[in-house]
Chain A
Amino acid sequence: MTRKKRRLYILGLFLLGLGTATALTLTAFQDNLVFFYSPTDLQAKKLPPEQLFRLGGLVETGSVERSGGGEARTVEVRFRITDLEHSVPVIYAGILPDLFREGQGVVANGRMAPDGTFRARELLAKHDENYMPAEVAEALKKSGRWNETVGTGK
C-alpha cells in the first residue's frame, strides 16, 4: 500500500467516524433540535404545566376571533392551531405578522394555561415553500385545484 493510498483510507475512516458520531449526537438531541411541537406532539409529550415552549401548526379555518377594536392589529386574538389531527385553542395579544390568516402556518411561543388554552407571548408566521404570482394563485382557486389549508401541492 502506497502512502497516498494509506492517507486516503485514513481520511475515509476519519470521515466515517465523524459522520457516525454526528448522527448519534443529533439523534440523541432530537428533542432539543425541533423548533416547535405540533398539537399531536403535545398530546403525546405531557409537558409540565409551567413549561415555556413553541407550538406550531396551521391556523384553523373559521376559528379566528378578534376581541375589542375590530380590525386593529394589536387586540386580543383567539384561534386554534391545528395539525389536521388535533387542535389547541390559542390566545394571543400583540402585533400579528403580515402573513397571519386562516390556513396559514404559524409558530407561537408561550405556555399552557390550566384551562387548556395556550397563552402565546410571541407569534411568528411560517412561510410555505410555494412561490407564485397572484394571478396563478387566483387561477388555481378558480379551477378548484387550490387546497386552502396547505396551499398548493401536497
Chain B
Amino acid sequence: MQRFANPGRFLRLARAVYPWTAGLAVLCLAAGLWFAFVASPPDYQMGETVRIMYVHVPAAWMALFVYTNLAVAAAVLLVWKHPLAELAGRAMAPVGACFTALCLITGSLWGQPMWGTFWVWDARLTSVLVLFFLYLGYIALSNAFDDPTRGGKAAAILALVGVVNVPIIKFSVDWWNTLHQPASLTRLDAPAIHASMLVPLLLMAFGFTFYFVAVTLIRIRTEILARRLRALQFSQGASEVAAASPRQVSA
C-alpha cells in the first residue's frame, strides 16, 4: 500500500489500470441499461416503475461505498500523512455527491407514484440527505483554505466524523419503522428479488463501480499534474522575481 503512495508510481499504475476500468464501465452500463429498460419484465405490483430501481439502488450503494472510501482516505491522511490520500479524497468527494444526488432524485421520482409522496422525513431518507450534506461540507471545507493541505486535513476530520452516518443509513430500515422498504439483497434467506430483475441491478452496480474507479483515477491524475504545474509556476515566478528585483533597484 505504501509503495503506491509515491505519485510517480501511482501515475504509472493509473495509466495501466484506467483503460480496463473505463472499458468495463462502458460494457456493464450498456448491458445493464439494455437489461433494465428492454430485457427485464415489469414488476407484479409496480409495473414499469420498477425500472427506476435499476438506477436508484446502485446509486445508493455507490453513495455509501464512495463515502467509505473517502473515510479510509481521510484516516490514511491523518495517520500516515500520505499526500496522495488527500488528493484521493478531493477526487472522490464530488463523484460521491453526484451518486447521492442521483439516488435522492430517482428515489423521489419513484416515491411519488408508489408511496404517494416525493419526500417524507423517515430515518432512511433523512440519513441519506445528511450524507449528501456531508459530501457538500467536505467539498466546501477542503477548498476553504488558501493552503490546500490544511483544507484537506480539516475536511478529512469532517469525513471521519460523518462516518457514523454510514451504519445508520444501512440499518435505519431495520432499527426503526420507516416508509422506505428494507434491503432485498442482503437478507439471510433467499434474496427477495427475482433473477430476471437481479441481473440488470447487478450489472448496473458493477458498471457504476467501474465508472467510479475510472473517474477517480482521472481526477487524481489531473490533481497530481495540477499540483506539479503549480509548483513549477511557483518556482518560475520566484526566479522571475529574483531576476526582476535588481532591475527594480537600479530603476
> Given known contacts A131-B194, A136-B194, is B160 in contact with A97 (CB within 8 Å)?
no
Q: Smallest Cβ distance from B204 to chain A, in angstroms?
A: 14
Residue from the list B44, B114, B182, B194 in contact with A97, Cβ < 8 A: B114
Asked whether B177 lies within 8 Å of A35 as measured between CB atoms, the reply is: yes
**Chain B positions 23-50 with a Cβ under 8 Å from a chain A Cβ:** 41-46, 50
Inter-chain contacts of A153 with B (CB < 8 A): 187, 189-190, 192
Residue from the list B115, B117, B183, B196 in contact with A127, Cβ < 8 A: B115
Inter-chain contacts of A130 with B (CB < 8 A): 184, 192-193
> Given known contacts A26-B168, A125-B115, A153-B189, is B53 in contact with A131 (CB within 8 Å)?
yes
Q: Smallest Cβ distance from B141 to chain A, in angstroms?
A: 18
Inter-chain contacts of B182 with A (CB < 8 A): 129
Inter-chain contacts of B177 with A (CB < 8 A): 34-38, 56
- Please tell me which stretch of A12-20, A43-51, A58-66, A74-82 contacts chain B, meaning at least 4 of its Cβ atoms lie within 8 angstroms of it: A12-20
Asked whether A129 lies within 8 Å of B41 as measured between CB atoms, the reply is: no
Q: Give the total number of A-B pairs whose CB atoms are below 8 A apart.
A: 118
Instruction: Name which residue of chain A comes closest to B178, CB basis.
Output: A35
Inter-chain contacts of A15 with B (CB < 8 A): 160, 163
Asked whether A133 lies within 8 Å of B123 as measured between CB atoms, the reply is: no
Q: Smallest Cβ distance from B60 to chain A, in angstroms?
A: 14
Asked whether A7 lies within 8 Å of B79 as measured between CB atoms, the reply is: yes
Inter-chain contacts of B238 with A (CB < 8 A): none
Inter-chain contacts of A37 with B (CB < 8 A): 177
Alpha-carbon distance between A108 and B196 when the two chains are bound, in angstroms: 33
**Chain B positions 72-92 with a Cβ under 8 Å from a chain A Cβ:** 75, 78-80
Inter-chain contacts of B175 with A (CB < 8 A): 26, 33
Asked whether A132 lies within 8 Å of B44 as measured between CB atoms, the reply is: yes
Instruction: Name which residue of chain B comes closest to A23, CB basis.
Output: B164
B181: CB under 8 A from chain A?
Answer: yes
**Chain B positions 99-148 with a Cβ under 8 Å from a chain A Cβ:** 113-117, 120-123
Q: Smallest Cβ distance from B107 to chain A, in angstroms?
A: 12
Alpha-carbon distance between A125 and B78 when the two chains are bound, in angstroms: 46
Inter-chain contacts of B123 with A (CB < 8 A): 33-35
Alpha-carbon distance between A107 and B111 when the two chains are bound, in angstroms: 13
**Chain B positions 173-205 with a Cβ under 8 Å from a chain A Cβ:** 175-179, 181-184, 187, 189-190, 192-194, 196-197
Asked whether A133 lies within 8 Å of B79 as measured between CB atoms, the reply is: no
Inter-chain contacts of B115 with A (CB < 8 A): 97, 99, 124-127
Asked whether B184 lies within 8 Å of A129 as measured between CB atoms, the reply is: yes
Measuring CB to CB, which residues of chain A are less than 8 angstroms from any residue of chain B? 4, 7-8, 11, 14-15, 18-19, 22, 26, 30, 33-38, 56, 95, 97-99, 107, 122-138, 152-153
Measuring CB to CB, which residues of chain B are less than 8 angstroms from any residue of chain A? 41-46, 50, 53, 75, 78-80, 113-117, 120-123, 160-161, 163-164, 168, 175-179, 181-184, 187, 189-190, 192-194, 196-197
